Amino acid sequence: MKKIFMSVLAIAAVLFFTNCSNGSSGTAMLDLDVRVCPNKDAQAWYDRSKPDEKQRYDDFCNLFTVLPGPYEFTWEELKNQDGSAGYEQCATKLKIRLRLNKTLKPGIDNGYADGRLMTEERMMEALQRVYDFQMVNSEGKTSMEDGDNISLFFRPDLNNKWGADGKIGASENKDAVLDFYHFLTSEPGTEFDLVLDCGIQQCKRIEDMIEFNKGLYIQPGTDVWRSNFKFE
């Protein structure tokens, strides 16, 4: 009986220390205000645009619908990164679900004079410049509008991946861009989990940052007018 009791204690101890070693990682479901809207530069350009140019921008704003939350937010401690105790770093990610309203089609490639259509590679290059992702605070301000609290904003990004291999640093997130492209060029009604990298943050600050960030603005920028996408 004593041996059984000691075995149970040993197992409990292993589980305890395993959980402690992962104590800086976690998941939370966030009730965020997620919307597609223009940034200030795009809005100013839109206001002085011709009707057909406004339609091109409207098409990108209505290309997909953001489905209701809550939305999954995760953070994972970078175990392979050396650092002093109390300053552990965590890679963060936000997942939102989208539903496609229209299918994105290639238009005429502006880089050539022979009227050829955009290739898949050219479409993905253009898409990387179309959407900007900005977290907002309780006042609806982005980090560019609330410089005093800039360190409290998560930094959502589709094009780059932070914390690869458990280390501080970034690499191109080609797989994420390709997945987003395949979603936008699929059939209307398709649903998709868009996972945005939110940067590397101090693990001990995650709770405060979750409280501070209240929404996500998906903002088609002025590059919308530099490409010739079509929609069906």
Q: How far is CA 143 from the centre of its chain?
A: 15
Q: Maximum CA pair distance of the chain?
A: 85
pLDDT at 19: 36
Average model confidence (pLDDT) across the chain: 84
- Each residue's pLDDT tens digit, 62-95: 999 999 999 999 999 987 665 556 678 999 999 9
Strands 33-36 and 215-220, bridge-based pairing: parallel
- Each residue's pLDDT tens digit, 6-39: 443 343 333 333 333 345 889 999 999 999 999 8
The Cα 178–Cα 229 span in angstroms is 17
State pTM to two decimals: 0.83
pLDDT at 10: 41
- Each residue's pLDDT tens digit, 157-178: 999 887 766 667 777 888 999 9
- The answer to whether residues 200 and 78 touch, using CB atoms and an 8 Å cutoff, is yes
